[in-house]
Amino acid sequence: AQSVTQLGSHVSVSEGALVLLRCNYSSSVPPYLFWYVQYPNQGLQLLLKYTSAATLVKGINGFEAEFKKSETSFHLTKPSAHMSDAAEYFCAVTLYNFNKFYFGSGTKLNVKP
Amino acid sequence: EAGVTQFPSHSVIEKGQTVTLRCDPISGHDNLYWYRRVMGKEIKFLLHFVKESKQDESGMPNNRFLAERTGGTYSTLKVQPAELEDSGVYFCASSQDLDAEAFFGQGTRLTVV
Whether A21 and A31 have beta carbons less than 8 Å apart is answered as no
Q: What's the pLDDT at A28?
A: 80
Residue range A68-109, pLDDT digits in tens: 999 999 999 999 999 999 999 999 999 876 889 999 999 999
Q: What's the pLDDT at A99?
A: 85
Question: Hey, is the C-beta of A100 within 8 angstroms of any chain B C-beta?
Answer: yes
Q: What's the pLDDT at B88?
A: 97
A-B contacts (CB, under 8 Å): 56
* Residues of chain A with C-beta less than 8 angstroms from the C-beta of B50: none
Residue range A42-63, pLDDT digits in tens: 899 999 999 877 899 999 999 9
Q: What's the pLDDT at B2?
A: 81
* Residues of chain B with C-beta less than 8 angstroms from the C-beta of A45: 104
Q: What's the pLDDT at B1?
A: 64
**CA distance, residue B93 to nearest chain A CA (Å):** 9
User: Across the interface, which of B99, B101, B106 has its CB nearest the CB of A46?
Assistant: B101
Tell me the pairing of strands B10-13 and B108-112. parallel
Greater confidence (B100 vs A14) lies with: A14
Question: Hey, is the C-beta of A25 within 8 angstroms of any chain B C-beta?
Answer: no
DSSP secondary structure, chain B, as one string = ----EEE-SEEEE-TT--EEEEEEPPTT--EEEEEEE-TTS-EEEEEEEETTEEEE-TT--STTEEEE-GGGS-EEEEESS--GGG-EEEEEEEESSTTSPPEE---EEEEE-
Per-residue pLDDT of chain B (113 residues; tens, 9 = 90+): 689 999 999 999 999 999 999 999 999 999 999 999 998 789 999 999 999 999 999 999 999 999 999 888 999 999 999 999 999 999 999 999 988 889 999 999 999 99
Question: Hey, is the C-beta of B33 within 8 angstroms of any chain A C-beta?
Answer: yes
Q: What's the pLDDT at A95?
A: 84
- How far is C-alpha A57 from the chain's CA centre? 11
**Confidence tier at A30 by pLDDT (50, 70, 90):** confident
SS3 of A76, please?
strand
- Tell me if B98 and A99 make a contact (CB, 8 A cut-off): yes
